[in-house]
Amino acid sequence: MFVVPMARLAWLSVTTPETGLANYRDVLTDGVSLTVIWRTLRMMLVVTAVCLLFAYPYAYVMTVVPPRTRAVLTTIVLLPFWTSLMARTFAWVVLLQKGGPVNDALAALGLGDVRLAGSATGVTIAMAQVMLPFMVLPLYSSMRDVDRALVPAALSLGARPAVAFLRVYLPLTLPGVAAGTTLVAVLSLGFYVTPALLGSPKESMIAQLIAVKVQDVLDFGAGGALSLTLLVVALALLGLVARFVRPGAALGMSDEGDRR
């Protein structure tokens, strides 16, 4: 299912318009492709970091509240899953556009006229919201497995709260951090809809570039080369994470998280 089109794409990338690695040379030399790849990687890092920043405390709160509150918090996280990506992105367009409520609120606070829709900032906000469940659920499932007595134990042994967190709690939740960041990072690399609708054409991501090559210019060779480059980057990321976390932990954890 997945292998055949991939193989076809790979084949096209080295045969169209003529046999050879010309398409890959173009990726590295045409200036545009590399810039877009860098921009995509940067966006990936920022989105992943923002997600982690919001998801870590959120997931922690989920582990300490009573079951009823936890059910509400879980629903809030999962809600985006049940609405279409398009609908959500358009909702963000409405919220963030010039003259929209967020813009007005910022202006009222004296922060002036901030450009959100049609900018990288807007894309980051919307993407982070879309990706949040993929970060929260693995984090929650690894936090749930941490014995609640460990942090008090660390405190009683003379660890300041910050030290207890860094030496005991954080290391024990790292598998969840690894799983969540990998999922979010890999997903944001190939994100198309949100940057296309909310971003500026001048700041396109790699998925948009591929779409342009394939749909508008009908340059299947270049599109294929870019796609494979994207795949290689994604695989390299997974490989990097696998070096630090035992294989399967990421998937196993996220599975458990989904069941709750």
Partner 1 sequence: MPDHSPGAGVRVRDLTKRFGSAARPAVDAVSLDVRPGEFMTFLGPSGSGKTTTLNMIAGLEGVTGGEIRIGDRDVAALPAHRRDLGVVFQQYALFPHMTAAQNVAFPLRRRKLPKAEIAERVARTLDLVRLGDHADRLPRKLSGGQQQRVALARAIVFDPRVLLMDEPLGALDKKLREQLQIEIARLHRELGVTVIFVTHDQEEALALSDRIAVFNEGRIEQVGTASDLYERPATRFVAAFLGDSNAFEGTLSGGRLAGDGLDLRAPATDLPDGSRAALIVRPERLRLSGAPGSGDNAVSADVTDIVYQGAFRKVLIRFGNGGAGCVREAIGALSDIAPGDRVTVHWSPDHAVLVPA
Q: Should residue 245 be labelled a site residue for partner 1 when binding is judged by CB under 8 A?
A: no
Residue 106 CB coordination number (10 Å): 14
In the chain, the N- to C-terminal Cα span, in Å, equals 30
Stretch of 36-44, 65-73, 92-100, 153-161 lying at the interface with partner 1 (CB under 8 A): 153-161
Q: Should residue 201 be labelled a site residue for partner 1 when binding is judged by CB under 8 A?
A: no
Distances (CA, A) of 74 to 63, 140, 163, 196, 258: 11, 10, 29, 29, 10
Among 153, 218, 235, 251, binds partner 1 (CB under 8 A): 153
Work out how close the CB of 249 gets to partner 1 at its nearest, in angstroms, rounded to a whole number: 14
Cα-based angle 105, 106, 108 (whole degrees, multiple of 5): 65
Q: Give the residue with the Cβ less far from partner 1, 168 or 210.
A: 168
Among 6, 95, 172, 211, binds partner 1 (CB under 8 A): 172
d(CA 64, CA 144): 9
Among 17, 57, 101, 152, binds partner 1 (CB under 8 A): 152
Work out how close the CB of 64 gets to partner 1 at its nearest, in angstroms, rounded to a whole number: 15
Distances (CA, A) of 218 to 4, 178, 209, 233: 20, 38, 12, 24
Q: Should residue 139 be labelled a site residue for partner 1 when binding is judged by CB under 8 A?
A: no
Q: Should residue 166 be labelled a site residue for partner 1 when binding is judged by CB under 8 A?
A: no
Q: Where are the alpha helices (DSSP H) in 145-169?
A: 150-156, 161-164
Among 105, 163, 166, 236, binds partner 1 (CB under 8 A): 163
Among 164, 178, 197, 207, binds partner 1 (CB under 8 A): 164
